[in-house]
Amino acid sequence: MKIEKIELDRSEVNALIKAILYLKFECEDTDSLLYCSSPIINSSLSKLLAMYGYEDEWGKVFSVLPEANKKIAINKIKRSESEEGVLDEKIKKEVLEQYLFPYRD
């Protein structure tokens, strides 16, 4: 597969970071769970954060998981289970771990 490269300015990178964080920690739509816990989205977010710079500051921002963000994730998973069926505990743990990225808590 050919690797494509794109050039983004800082405001575009910032907008994409904000969009992903909104999707993960503010959007309550259970259909977004697929994207919130996507390793591909997380990889993209990681690359965007690196492109933006200020890695030390980002490290501080994401060093402590706000309880509200964790609660949003857990509640979205629970609502999804009520709509789609209960997940295996191992899968649920992985979904939550991927969902909470980039927090390290």
Domain boundaries, the chain: 10-100
Does the pTM exceed 0.75? yes
What pLDDT, on a 0 to 100 scale, did the predictor assign at position 64? 94
What pLDDT, on a 0 to 100 scale, did the predictor assign at position 52? 84
What pLDDT, on a 0 to 100 scale, did the predictor assign at position 18? 96
What pLDDT, on a 0 to 100 scale, did the predictor assign at position 19? 97
What pLDDT, on a 0 to 100 scale, did the predictor assign at position 56? 83
Regions of the chain where pLDDT drops below 50: none
What pLDDT, on a 0 to 100 scale, did the predictor assign at position 105? 60
Per-residue buried b or exposed e for 70-99, using 16+ beta carbons within 10 Å of the residue's own CB:
bebbeebbeebeeeeeebeeeebeebbebb
What pLDDT, on a 0 to 100 scale, did the predictor assign at position 59? 86
Rg value, the chain, Cα: 15
